[in-house]
Amino acid sequence: MRSNHLTVKPISGTVGAEIHGVDVSADLSDDTIADIRRVLLDHGVIFFRDQTLDHERHKVFARRFGEIFVHPNFKGLGADPEIVEIRRAPTDQRIVGEEWHCDTTMMAEPPMGAILYGVETPPYGGDTQFASMYHAYDALSDGMKELLGGMRAVHSDHMVAGPAAARNAKRSTKVREDADWRPTVAVHPVVRTHPETGRKSLFVNRSYVFRFEDMTEEESRPLLDYLFRHGERPEFTCRFRWQPGSIAFWDNRCTHHIAVNDAGQHFRHVRRVQIAGQRPV
């Protein structure tokens, strides 16, 4: 499929498409940005190959889609608070994003998306998988949709940051674990309506959701476990193999993703910029 001068190639039946024919480091026209946004909305996550992005051009491209979001758990740990450098060394026992998740949902206004750029990638392994939460919601029974429609879930970052999470000792990419750290908590609807497409999606994820509003963790666990497993069904997913100069740009409002920890004795370095979003409704 062609979109003006862009060539769009879907990579699965439900989510993900590669875009060819554009240099994202250039000063792109408003029409081209609108085309890219439309493909993102249609496919949930888009990919570019053979790009050259330094830090500033990475941020310039991100700002064409919204304000840059500064992640509170990485703030102060890098030279540029608007950029997160994600590194994986062969000796690492853990990696960032190693379970299915949606980014930073403990915020009252979670990011609308993220642009991840491949700086140094392994010759094999270290892929990223993505899942469509539109399709996960659509595949639920009518009874389950009715049940979830009135529910809200509690999102917290206590499982991924802070002293109790103890992530830093086992991986190269660090988060805040200092004594002054406090969890950030927000309550969001379990079923989210996308502000641009109007489509409904499942909005709970393993990294941040630990119970439903007005329920205990024990009461919440059976249904949460079912929803997590349901959203990870392979027919809702695609898999992206990284190369130097590759870009993944996902819509954080309707997709989940996971970093596959199988790079063996190889380094992996990717650079992320997040884009500010809105309160889920």
Gap between the terminal Cα atoms of the chain: 32
Which of the residues 43, 171, 269, 272 is marked catalytic? 272
Residue 75: predicted pLDDT: 73
Residues 6+ apart with CB under 8 A from 230: 136, 139, 140, 202
Span 2-275: which CATH code? 3.60.130.10
**SS3 (DSSP) at 43:** helix
Does 257 participate in catalysis according to the annotation? yes
pLDDT of the residue at 165:
87
Q: Are the CB atoms for 43 and 17 separated by under 8 Å? A: yes
Q: Distance between alpha carbon 130 and the CA centroid of its chain, in Å?
A: 8
pLDDT lower than 50: segments of the chain: 1-3
pLDDT score of 5: 79
What are the sequence ranges of the domains in the chain? 2-275
- What local confidence, expressed as pLDDT, does residue 166 receive? 85
pLDDT score for 2: 45
Instruction: Sheet with 185-189: list strands edge to edge.
Output: 185-189, 152-156, 209-212
Tell me whether residue 20 is one of the annotated catalytic residues. Answer: no
**Catalytic pick from 58, 87, 88, 103?**
103
Catalytic residue among 88, 135, 257, 269: 257
**pLDDT score at 78:** 76
At residue 4, the pLDDT reads 56
Q: Which of 87, 101, 268, 269 is catalytic?
A: 101
The CA distances from residue 133 to 15, 24, 237, in Å, are 9, 27, 9
